[in-house]
Homo-oligomer: A and B are copies of this chain.
Amino acid sequence: MPQRLVVVGGDAGGLTAATNARRLRPAADLQIVVFERGPWASFSACGEPYFVSGEIAEFDALLIRSPEEFAEQGISVHLRHEVTAIDTAAHRVTVRDLESSRESTVDYDMLVYATGARARHAPIEGRDLAGVHEMHLLADALAVRSVIESDPRPQRGVVVGGGYVGLEMAEALHVRGLHTTIVASRGGLLGGSIDPEMSEHLAERVRALGIQVDVGHRVERINGEGGRVISVDGEGRTILADLVILATGTEPRVELARAAGLRIGESGGVWVDDHQRTSAPDVYAAGDCAEVTDRITGRPLNLHLGTIANRQGRVAGLNIGGVDEVFPGVLGTAITKVHDLEVSRTGVTEAQARNAGIDVAVATFEATTMAGNWPASTSMRVRALADRATRQIIGAQIIGGPTAAKRIDTIAMAIWNSMTVDAMVNVDLSYAPPFSGAWDPVAVAARKLQAVLGGVG
């Protein structure tokens, strides 16, 4: 008799776990059953804003693999099936078929909890008006695109929320020709993810692209007329709008886990050990619903990033497959763009460092994306952080034109390896005028930090 792996949630975390377990254990040895409450599995949530903008033209391009393709691997994916209870003692889940509303139970030997995250509902009056959309699910993307392409086309868009999804949706509306305003709370654009000074710089550069940026005003009410949105009110100002996108953050789906008695971590995500095991026997968790450990501070975090979901899913799947694989924590590396303006970050911000008791050194400087004499070169701003005690690089943020932001990976690799800024200076990075200056901004970051820390620079 084969064992049975039940996967709760059919996206990055769960399906990556499933495919990795399958690589190591054939169907004769391990049955794999995936329950997904939504109508699609294995999709690119990160692509949704680009489907709205039309840059990703076809909806199918958001779908990565079909249930039929998983079936070929012996992975049985059940769409519109919601797991409503997990009995960790009996190793049994209750599943509801959302089409028929019938419930059944399924026994498992191992379970992967990968329910992901949902949009966080900010307490905003008027959120149910026509023309107001959340942005999280594929269905949201379809709905917004449909509105944008219907007559009369919306003219004025307001995006509530200055996070990654907010920025990307503001770009999407702007690409579509809407007069677009992004409203961010006091934290500013990407607040919390990048330092305030960088956030302000980002706001300036986004404004220069023709997108209105309204920072520091909480949206309190959405006003309607005849059931349709007409404007957004917040702390004394009113912005006209016929399309409103709510992108006020996401939160992990942990209710089912909590009801099943799984330990919930400080971060709000499902607690896991370094093998992605939860507190319940034979139950793993991966993806947006699961907690991760910050490699710099050692603190628990709950981040909603596809990269982390994939890597956690891989580790869970390999362990289920019998390989002793450890998930080594995260730096929270993230990247996005608004038109040609790129933004990225990795490691800790200044505030995160201080909160963790790190005596932090900060260097912020202007560089160019390519050699100074290269015509396509644009300005970029880099903020880099080091630990004064260890002289190690611990974080960086980049804002700039094309090719600026992917450099964050080079810095992430340095941080991952606990490099001192002194060691970083001499690393053999590539140079040619179309790509960077002779000292790449990554090396310059190390030199600038050396100068701050006391050293030759």
A334 touches B430 (CB 8 A): yes
B375 touches A435 (CB 8 A): no
B428 touches A417 (CB 8 A): no
Interface locus among A100-108, A148-156, A400-408: A400-408
Query: How many chain-A residues does the 8 Å CB contact rule pick out?
Result: 74
Interface locus among A26-34, A300-308, A382-390: A300-308
For chain A, residues 438 to 457, give those with C-beta under 8 angstroms from any C-beta of chain B.
Answer: 438-440, 442, 456-457
Counting chain B CB atoms within 10 Å of each CB, the highest count among A318, A408, A438, A439 belongs to A438
B336 touches A56 (CB 8 A): no
Does A432 interact with chain B (Cβ within 8 Å)? yes
Does A62 interact with chain B (Cβ within 8 Å)? yes
In the complex, the chain B residue whose C-beta lies closest to that of A164 is: B432
> Which residues in B have their C-beta under 8 angstroms from that of A144?
none
In the complex, the chain B residue whose C-beta lies closest to that of A16 is: B438
Per-position 1/0 for A305-319, Cβ under 8 A of B: 111101100110010
Does A355 interact with chain B (Cβ within 8 Å)? no
Per-position 1/0 for A287-329, Cβ under 8 A of B: 0000000010000000001111011001100100101010110
Measuring CB to CB, which residues of chain A are less than 8 angstroms from any residue of chain B? 12, 20, 23-24, 44, 46-47, 50, 55-57, 61-62, 295, 305-308, 310-311, 314-315, 318, 321, 323, 325, 327-328, 330-337, 344, 346, 371, 373-375, 403, 405-410, 412-414, 416-417, 419, 423, 425-436, 438-440, 442, 456-457
B56 touches A374 (CB 8 A): yes
Contacts A310-B439, A428-B412, A433-B56; is A323 near B12 (CB within 8 Å)?
no
CB distance from A347 to the nearest CB of B (A): 9
Listed by A's residue number, 29 A-B pairs whose Cβ atoms lie within 8 Å are A44-B371, A44-B373, A46-B371, A46-B432, A47-B433, A50-B433, A56-B373, A61-B373, A306-B431, A307-B428, A311-B428, A314-B425, A318-B456, A323-B456, A328-B426, A333-B428, A334-B432, A335-B431, A337-B432, A405-B430, A406-B406, A406-B430, A408-B430, A410-B410, A410-B412, A412-B430, A413-B417, A416-B427, A416-B428
Specify how many copies of this chain sit in the oligomer: 2
Partner of A333, one of B47, B430, B457: B430
A332 touches B50 (CB 8 A): no
Which 8 interchain pairs have the tightest Cβ spacing? A335-B430, A417-B417, A413-B413, A61-B373, A331-B428, A409-B410, A333-B428, A307-B431
> Which residues in B have their C-beta under 8 angstroms from that of A20?
456
